[in-house]
Structure 1
């Protein structure tokens, strides 16, 4: 009980506030936009989730359950962070598409490159994406050539088109339009793949919840499976093996769905 209270107190002390979360979001956007990140102090969300879940489980059950709960919470927090990163990436790609639309329209209308770039940055819903697009157009030679994601690959193509236009005098609007069309097509394809794999993800989530349902049903008929799993040696071994198989099954299902969605 005392150890659980100490873990719970540590989790509350380490839990990030709204200001820390805003700083982390700005830092992630800065890294993606290519600017030099500023050092900030903070606690990883994975550690906070693990400590919090372990503290609650230690208060309610045994140390083994606390350790398993902490590990599962860390894995769940990691999956949630990946999901949020994917949502942010989609939003930034959508903003970049709108900026490319404005850039191509301004260039086809006869505006100069600097004027068209300013208009595109103003039309971009994400400030960091707009600044990254402006750097790719105005300073294409400064690109680092790293393609860490769909956004970086699109900016690399825009920078390559700007270099080609500066050297040969060819039209930049046509290449910008091609990049925009490609991004729109890829976005539609991702939406279709997510819709096609929604049933598989739902089935995996349902199967993952069946062991919990089994515990509830066992307790309802008076078998008390939770006491057996947490207080006997055989039950503890089965609990560890069951949690391991559960995590492995979820990871395998997620990997199969992600491979099908590529």
Structure 2
């Protein structure tokens, strides 16, 4: 049973999330379309969930039993994966903020009478996020007509590309459309920030409820019951430990799913 749990924890640690797979496919398609040189392969670096899972398992097997090591490794890998998702969300918010800033600068430069090329260079120069600035430059200088957009940033860039194509064909004003896209991006960012603020309470409650079993273990140890020895050295206790950790993970995953659906 312990060996099976160790293999399951290693598989959970090494299994890539859907966001990671999608980012890998998008990066490959972007590199092939833009004709750029491929970057350093990410496979050469160990994923953070795998490193965290192995480290947690090693520390736990030194301090406790192999069963606790398997559970600790799986928990550490899941925690590292959740941290990576939070970093990805923060990076996306930063890119949206940089894109809104670049769009505002582009619209202001176009209204001042500068050419599209000069206005694009100025917008990229003032953009705090280099990735957003480069994406806007590609959308203006190599516009793509049509296609489906998944993220908010990609949708805004496709609207800019469509506006550039329409302006080139009909001669209509591009500054007004760019300004409208900027207003839309800023409104969406304000809406997402409001949602994050509204969900801060439920998220804190979920984390507090998840920590109550640990508090129960500490209280039991304080009165001399020694619940940790029962959970790690007896067969019924080990079964209860596995079920409890599984229920904890399921509760946290369900809470994250509910808050994630509210943010979409």
Q: Where on the TM-score scale, by shorter chain, does this alignment land: which range?
A: 0.7 to 0.9
Say which of 77, 81, 89 aligns to 2:80: 77
Deviations 1:212-240 (A, max 9, x none): 00000000101000000000110000000
| TM-superposed deviation, 1:34 | 3.6
Deviations 1:26-58 (A, max 9, x none): x98x93994454233211111100000000000
Instruction: Give yes or no for the alignment of 1:137 onto 2:140.
Output: yes
Q: Which 4+ stretches in 1 moved above 6 angstroms?
A: none
| TM-superposed deviation, 1:148 | 4.0
1:125 is aligned to: 128
Aligned ranges 1:120-199 → 2 under 5 Å: 120-141=123-144, 145=147, 147-199=149-201
1:109 is aligned to: 112
1:7 is aligned to: none
| Structure 1 contact 33–131 (Cα < 8 Å) conserved | no
| Structure 1 contact 46–74 (Cα < 8 Å) conserved | yes
Instruction: Give yes or no for the alignment of 1:56 onto 2:52.
Output: no
Distance 1:33 1:101 in 2: 29
| TM-superposed deviation, 1:150 | 1.8
| Structure 1 contact 33–129 (Cα < 8 Å) conserved | no
Structure 1 residues 177 and 209, CA, compared in 2 at 3 Å: closer, same or farther? same
What is the TM-score when the length of structure 2 is the normalising length? 0.84
Distance 1:204 1:118 in 2: 46
| TM-superposed deviation, 1:260 | 2.3
Structure 1 residues 127 and 33, CA, compared in 2 at 3 Å: closer, same or farther? farther
2:258 is aligned to: 256
| TM-superposed deviation, 1:261 | 2.8
Gaps of 5+ in 2: 1-22
1:11 is aligned to: none
**RMSD value, Cα:** 2.0
Gaps of 5+ in 1: 1-26
Distance 2:250 2:106 in 1: 47
Instruction: Give yes or no for the alignment of 1:39 onto 2:40.
Output: yes
